[in-house]
Structure 1
Amino acid sequence: MRLLLLAELALGLALGLGAAAAGGGSEPDAVTCGSVVKLLNVRHNVRLHSHDVRYGSGSGQQSVTGVSAVDDSNSYWRIRGKTSTVCGRGTPVKCGQSIRLTHINTGRNLHSHHFTSPLSGNQEVSAFGEDGEGDYLDDWTVVCSGPYWARDSEVRFKHSSTDVFLSVTGEQYGRPIHGQKEVHGMSYSNQNNYWKVMEGIFMKPSELLRMDPYHSEL
């Protein structure tokens, strides 16, 4: 299944589907379910990232970090409906909606729980599950203004079960992931919580017909 996701990503980029948000005086495009994107922490200028390296403490689950590299393939995440639901490809994500973010290269979901993060002592954020299936602790609420999550807007992600915000505060790892920054959950909102969509494939309703014969919704 992950091979299909990677093939779709390569196909989409080859077809030019990773276009930037609409410019000019037009209304910004909404971020949609099924899209595969990179997310930039605005304050610290790092992209949400994961890889098959586990935490040496806490839960021992797959680590989630922030990286400054723009072209790292381990920074792609698929936007999906919350646990046990399906959000159809091309469906705009509403402000206040709960979603999952599935890491493309490992098939694990962005996750949080009551473990302490290794560097800052905040709440641990990990990647959890297999082939896109985990549990209710994979759900995050999109906090934004307006009716929909707009591609050019800065948004926050609030963990639906523990109410922490997905954050970066600058703590940096040593080996084996030297230079990567800690991603964690914070109990309050501040400038460390804001994220913006960057590179990716943005699904539109018209693309549903072309893509769906080849794979099923995750």
Structure 2
Amino acid sequence: MYAIGLMDQGNIDTREPVLDIVDRVSELCFGLFMALTFVGAVSAVTAGEGAGRKMFYTALGCNLAWGLADAVMFLVRTLTNRGRRLRLALTVRHEPDAAAGVRALRDALPRWVAPLIADTELELIRARIAAIPDLPQRPRFLRADMVAAAAIFLIVVSSTFPVALPFVVFSHVPTALIVSRALTIVILFGSGIALGRHSGFGEWKAGLAMAALGVLLTMAIIALGG
């Protein structure tokens, strides 16, 4: 909803790309941690024939539910943020006092950006918004929003398989647990490398940090009986 995003009419009724590398990795890690925690908890109370399949389907059902909830909340967040941008644009457009319009734009800026943008620059943005002939009256969903929500759902659900599938492949539950946790740590390491490359923090450092986080979480699950 920042001033730069309000400079073009199309930006007012669109969303910023949500599924960048950070979003994809975050959703993947969320699904991994959910499945890992659930599998660990269920393994502590599940035994006997078919225990592995029970854990797999239970973890899959858990992530199906959470993937759906996450996708729906993304849509809610998207429409809410778009509504805030549109309200700001309409306020600026209908404000007869140019100075008041500039103040409205400045109030919408994040604190770290505000000192970097002069009022003269905001006035140019205000004038462009005021000149837009056909602002929408209410925010609406776009097809891209639905695609992004579906992608979030699929990422969360697909993250179940490396964690839970070993319980179907291996009949020996302790072996399946080891394989499941090892795969989780490997995926977290790869996710950390991707985040490190994106942020410039250092690929290997970020990868090791994410893997260490996975080890700590695994240790916590074991300590809690998983």
TM-score range, shorter chain: under 0.3
TM value normalised by structure 1:
0.25
In terms of fraction of residues, the more helix-rich structure is 2
Rg larger in 1 or in 2?
Answer: 2
The higher-RCO structure (CA 8 Å, 6+ apart) is 2
TM value normalised by structure 2:
0.24
